[in-house]
Structure 1
Amino acid sequence: MTNNLITSYFVCLLLLGAVSAAAQKGTAVFKAGFSEKDITPDIGMEAPGNYGKRYHTSFNDRCKVRAVVFDDGDKRVALVGLDLLFVTRDVVQAARTEIHKRSGIEPEAIMIGASHSHSSGPIGMSEPGDYDNASPLVQDLVENKSITSDPGYTQHLKHQIVEAVVHADANRIDAKLAVGVGHEDKVSFNRRLRMKNGLTFSHPGVGNPDIIDYAGPIDPDVGTVGVWDLHDNLLGVIVNFSNHATTNPGGISANWIGPMERTLRRATGHAALPVVFLQGACGDITQVDNLAKHANPSSREWWEMVGGRVGAEAYKTLLLVRRGAARNIPLDYRQKVWHVDRRVPAPEKVKRAMNLVVRDPQEVGSTEWVFAKETVLLDALLKNKPQAEVEVQSIQVGPIAFVSNPAEYFVQYGLDIKKGSNFPFTFVVELANGCVGYVPTEEAFSKHGGGYETRLTSYSNLEITAGTQFANEGIRLTNEMTPGDIPEPPPAPEFKTPWSYGNVAPEVD
C-alpha cells in the first residue's frame, strides 16, 4: 500500500503502547525519549551550499541536533535530524560507534539525516583521505577554493549528535504513538522544466517563454508522527517533508525548519516541543516556482511561508488523530552498505579543465571556472576513491518505515519507494548516513534530460543507475520486515433508534 492509496488528504491513526517479547510476559512496553542539542556555527565560519568560499556574517536562528529513541522492550532505534547541509560518512560512523559504546544501541539501528540547510554550519564536500598525495594545485583548490569542514566544528557536531541520542535514550518513558499524513502542495515545486529545445533545464527562470512545463512531480506528503506519554502530554513530533532548505532568511539559520518547529510549538502550547525533522526526497524540489505569475517573495517571507505551512499541516494532522486501544508497535531495522562506481570525466575534458583552473576566474567566467575546478577535483578523487561507499537503511516503528538514502535524491525515486513498500506509512529520508551528492533519475541523463543536477562534479558523480539501486534496496529491506498493526477507532455503536428530534417530515407552517 502507499500513502496515496490510503488517503486523499489525511490519514491519521493512533498506536497506543506496544506488545513485544516483554509484553508476552505481562508487561506492555513501548518507550520513547527525545532530546535536542545545539550545533549553531559561529560568525565567521564558512557558510555551506555553494562550490566556493562564503562566510557567515550574521545570525538569524539556532541550528540543532534533534533525536528520538524508541524502545519496544526488545530493540531500540534512534532517528536523528540535523540542521546541516549534509552529514559525511566519517561523522556518521564515528557518532554511531560512540553512541553504541555509551548506550548499547546498535549502529545499524541509528539513522542520521541532514535537513540540507544552506544556512548552517561548515561542512565540506571532501572526506579524510579523498585527496591524499594530490598535487599542490589540487590541494590548493580543495583548501582555498572549495568549502571545507572546520575541524573544531566537526568535533563539536559529532559530540552533540552523540549527546542528543544518549540523552534521548536516558529520557525514555512509557509512551503512545500516532502517525498521519498531511497534504501541502503550495510551497514546493519541481525546479526542472521541459524546454522547447527538447532538453530539461534547472531553474530556467520565471517568465522564460521557452518553458513548456515541469519535468517532474513533487511529493506533497507531510509525514507526521506524534508521541505522547500515558497522561496525554505531547513528548515530541517527527516531521518528514520533501523540499530543499534553501529559503535562506539571512545569516545562520536552520532554514525553514526553524519556523516549522516554531509553528508546532505555538500551536500545541508546548514552548520546548522537540521536533525531529527528516528531509524527504527533494533533489529536484525547492520553494521556487519557475511558472509563477508574480514576483518571488523575499527570503524571509519564503522562510516563514514554507516553515509555517508545513508546521501548520503537521499540527492539523495531529488534531485528527483518533485514540484507540493498545496495539503492537514492533521495532526493527535493516541496512545494506556497498560500493557504487563513480562516473569518469573524459580525458579531453580533464585536460581542458586543467588549462582553465590555472587562469583567473574573471577571465574564464565564474561558472565555467567552477565546473572546471570540479572536473580537476573529481579526476584527483578517482585516483584514491574510484567508488563511493553508500548505505541504504530501513527503520521500522510499528506500521511506519523510514527508508534512507545518502543523496540529494530525485523525488520520483521517493514516490517509487512509497509505492513499492508494503508498509502503510513509508517516509523516505534523504542525505542520511553520508552524502554522495545529487542522484538524478536515469531519465535525467537521457537525450531529453540535462540540467544542473546531472553535471559531473567532485560532489555528484555516481553511476547513472545509482538512484535505481538505492530505491530497489530500500524497498527490498523494508519489505523484509512485517508492519505493525494498523489500529482502528472504536466501532460505531449498534443502531437502536433514530434521533427523535430529526426523524420528522418537513414543516412548512
Structure 2
Amino acid sequence: MKYIITSIFAVFLIAQIHAKPHNGIAPTFRAGFSEKDITPDIGMEQPGNYGKSHHKKFHDQCKVRAVVFDDGKKKVALVGVDLIFITRRVVEISRAEIESACGISGKDIMIGASHSHSSGPIAMSEPGDFDDADPLIKHLATNMSIVSDPGFIQYLQHQIVAAVVDANANLQDAKLAVGVGKEDKVAFNRRMRMKNGLTYTHPGVGNPDIIDYAGPIDPDVGTIGVWDLKDNLLGMVVNFACHATTNPDGISANWIGAMERTLRGVTGNAALPVVFMQGACGDITQVDNMAKHANPSAEEWWELVGGRVGAEAYKTMLLAKRGAGSDIPLDSRQKVWTVNRRIPTKEKVKKSLELVKQGPEKSGSVEWTFAKEILLLDAMIKKRPKAEVEVQAIQVGPVAFVSNPAEYFVQFGLDIKKASHFPFTFIVELANGCVGYVPTEEAMGPNGGGYETRLTSYSNLEVSAGRQIANTGIELANQMTPGKVPSPPPPAAFKQAWGYGNVPPEHK
C-alpha cells in the first residue's frame, strides 16, 4: 500500500537542505510552490453521498497544491486540496506540524478543499463522536455512511505538511499579478423558485412548475500569476465558485484537473503548479435546471467547466500588470468561535428511529436516509453541541482571501466582496474545517426550502450562522491595508499625430 509515512523530521531536513540563502538580506517578496499526490486507491470509499460507494476506476490524479508567500516580515501559505471537504482535526494537526517543520505560523496557513466528489475517503464526523453511542448508531455511522480511512487520513496530513514545507524551501524572489476574469456559462444556481411558493433544489429540467433561479451566481475567476525575476512563470492561484461534481468516470480532482491541464497546455509548462481555492458555491453547480438542451456526458462536463475556467484564468493573467518588492505586503487575521446547532425535536428523533428500524425498503430510501441522519445528528450533539467555526483573512498584496468552513451560499460571498475594502477579494469555502451547508436567511424562510436546508449530521448550524460568518469575514478583511494594484505606466506626452494617417481622403 502506498500510504507509508516518512517522518516529519525527514521533511524538515529536506527543507533545510533546499532552502535558498539570501546573504543575510531580507527579501522584499518571494514565492514558492509545491504539489503532492493524494490519489486514493481503487476500492476506497467515494465521498459525496449519504451512503456507501466505492472507487472502481482511475481518471486523473488528486493533489495537494501549496504556495508560500514571503514579504521579508511575514510568511503566509495557501493550500488547495482535491478533497470533498477537510475536517477541523486534520487542519489542526497539519498546521501544528507545518509550524514545527518550517516555522510558518498555523494562523497564517489557509487549507481549503475543492469539494471534489470523486476524491478520497473522509467523513464529516470527528474521532470520538460516536464512541458512547448505542450499537444501532454505531452501525449507522460505520456501515451505512461513508467513513474516513485511517491510512488515507494519515497520508493526507503528511502530504499537506510536505507540500507546504517544500513550497517554503522553493521560495525565490518573485513578481505577482492579480486579476479577475468572468465565466458565466458553466455555473448555475441549482435552487429554483417554484409555483407553490417554495424553493426546490434540482427540480429537474423541463419541470413546468419552475419560475426562475432562486439566487445568483458568482462569475468571477480570481487569478494570481507568479513569475521569477526573469519572467518565468512559477505558478498560479485560481478562485472560482462551482461545485466539483462533474464526476468523470473514476477517481479524479474533478473539473479542477481539466482546469490545470488547460493552463499547463496554454502556458507550455507541463508541470505548472495551479493552486485552486474553491469559491462560495453551496448552491452553485454545473447543472442548469433551465437548460434548453440535454446535459453533456460526465467527461464532456469535466472538460467544459475546467477548460473554460482555465482559459479565462489565462486570459486574465495576460492582461494583469506584474508587481514586485515592497508593494506586495502580507498580512492575516483569524477568528474562531462556536455556533449553535439546529437541534431536532424529541418527536422527530423518535419518528426517525421508527423509520430506520423499518428499513429503507418499507420506509422509502429517501425517508430512511434522512431519518438515519437525524439519529446521527442527535448522537453527535451529545458530544459536540456546538460547532467550532473559523473565519480567516489572508492578504497577498491587493488581494484578501476570506475563508469559511461551509458549503457557503453564493450570496454571502457576494456580500463579503461588496463590503470588502480590498480591490480584489477571493472567497474560499470549505477551508480550515467543515460545518456543512450554510444557507441564507431567505432559504430558511417561508419561501425557502430545498436540499441544503435539510437537517442532517452534515448541515445543522443555526439560521444566523451564515450572516455571522460573512460579518466576521468583512471585519477581518477590513482590518488590513490593501497593497497597491500594479498599473502600466502612462503614455508619453503627445507630440504630433502619425504622419501616415493625418491626411484627408484622397480620390485622385
TM-score range, shorter chain: over 0.9
Question: Which residue does 2:370 correspond to in 1?
Answer: 371
How far, CA to CA, are the matches of 2:113 and 2:476 in structure 1? 21
State the SS of the aligned residue for 2:80. strand
**Partner in structure 1 of residue 174 of structure 2:** 175
Paired with 2:449 and 2:439, the residues of 1 have a C-alpha distance of 10
Question: Is 1:396 equivalent to 2:388 in the alignment?
Answer: no
- Number of the residue aligned with 1:279: 278
Residue identity opposite 1:120 in structure 2: S
Q: Does 1:201 align with 2:181?
A: no
**Displacement of 1:325 after TM fit?**
7.3
**Partners of 1:324 and 1:489 within 8 A in 2:** no
Distance 1:327 1:220 in 2: 31
Other-structure match for 2:266: 267
The equivalences for 1:96-495 within 5 A come to 96-323=95-322, 328-495=327-494
* Greater displacement, 361-370 / 197-206: 361-370
Contact preservation (8 Å) 1:71, 1:77: yes
What is the letter of the counterpart of residue 153 of structure 2? T
Whether the aligned pair in 2 keeps the contact of 1:261 and 1:275 (CA below 8 Å) is yes
Amino acid at match of 1:183: K
**5 Å matches for 1:67-86?**
67-86=66-85
Structure 2 SS opposite 1:276 = strand
Work out the CA distance in 1 between the residues paired with 2:172 and 2:81: 23
CA contact 1:132–1:384 (8 Å) conserved in 2: no
Q: State the 1:323 CA deviation.
A: 4.2
Change (3 A) 1:326 1:72: closer
User: Is the 2:221–2:238 contact (alpha carbons within 8 Å) kept by the matching residues of 1?
Assistant: yes
Contact 1:41 1:252 in 2 (8 A): yes
Task: Verify the 8 A CA contact 1:327 1:485 in the aligned structure 2.
Answer: no
Cα distance in 2, alignment partners of residues 324 and 374 from structure 1: 50
Q: Confirm or deny: 8 A CA contact 1:30 1:176 kept in the other structure.
A: yes
Amino acid at match of 1:424: P
User: Are the counterparts in 2 of residues 66 and 81 from structure 1 also a CA contact under 8 Å?
Assistant: yes
- 1:252 is paired with a residue of what secondary structure? coil
- Give 1:364 shift: 1.2
Distance 2:95 2:323 in 1: 36
**In the aligned structure 1, how far is the partner of 2:322 from the partner of 2:171?**
21
Please give the alpha-carbon distance, in whole angstroms, between the structure 2 residues aligned to 1:413 and 1:442: 10
CA distance in 1, matches of 2:118, 2:278: 15
Paired position in structure 1 for 2:7: none
Q: Which TM-score applies when normalising by structure 1?
A: 0.94
Given residue 478 of structure 2, which amino acid in structure 1 is its aligned partner? N
Shift of 1:27: 6.0
Whole-Å Cα distance in 2 between the matches of residues 75 and 324 of structure 1? 18
Whole-Å Cα distance in 1 between the matches of residues 366 and 95 of structure 2?
A: 38
> Aligned residue for 1:9?
none
Q: CA deviation at 1:125?
A: 1.4
SS of match in other structure, 1:158? helix
- Consecutive unaligned residues of structure 2, counting only runs of 5 or more, are 1-21
Q: Read off the aligned partner of 2:175 and give its amino acid letter.
A: K
**Pairwise CA distance, 1:358:** 1.4
Is the Cα–Cα contact under 8 Å of residues 184 and 309 in structure 1 kept in the other structure? yes
Residues 176 and 323 in structure 2, CA contact (< 8 A), matched pair in contact too: no
Alpha-carbon shift at residue 132 of structure 1 (Å): 2.5
Report the RMSD for the aligned CA atoms in angstroms.
1.2
Tell me how far apart the structure 1 counterparts of residues 288 and 181 of structure 2 sit (CA, whole Å).
Answer: 21
> Do 1:324 and 1:490's aligned partners in 2 also have CA atoms closer than 8 Å?
no
Letter in 2 for 1:231: K
State the secondary structure of the residue aligned to 2:327: coil
Counterpart check, 1:43 vs 2:42: yes
Q: Per-residue displacement from partner, 1:298-332 (whole Å, max 9, x unpaired)?
A: 11110000000000000111111234675511100
Pair 190,253 (structure 1): closer, same or farther in 2 beyond 3 Å: same
- SS of residue paired to 2:64: strand
**Structure with higher RCO (Cα < 8 A, 6+ apart):** 1
- Kindly indicate whether residue 33 of structure 2 is the aligned counterpart of residue 34 of structure 1: yes
Contact 1:327 1:487 in 2 (8 A): no
| Partners of 1:331 and 1:322 in 2: CA distance | 19
SS state at 1:338 partner: strand
Paired with 2:468 and 2:290, the residues of 1 have a C-alpha distance of: 32
Matched-pair contact (CA < 8 Å) for 2:181–2:220? yes
Shift in alpha-carbon separation, 1:324–1:394, aligned structure 2, 3 A: closer
For residue 411 of structure 1, what is the amino acid of its counterpart?
V
C-alpha deviation, 1:131, in angstroms: 1.6
Superposed CA offset, 1:75-94 (max 9, x none): 00000000000000000000
Contact 2:322–2:486 (8 Å) recurs in 1: no
Contact 2:28 2:71 in 1 (8 A): yes
Give the drift of 1:508.
2.5
Q: Deviations over 1:334-380 (max 9, x none)?
A: 00000000001111111000011112212211111000000111111
Q: Deviations over 1:410-461 (max 9, x none)?
A: 0000000000100000000000000000000010011100000000000000
Deviation at 1:488, TM superposition (A): 1.8
Q: 2: CA distance between counterparts of 1:27 and 1:133? A: 53
| Residues 176, 322 of structure 2: 8 Å contact kept | no
CA change 1:323–1:277 in 2 (3 A) is closer
Aligned-pair CA distance for 1:178: 0.4
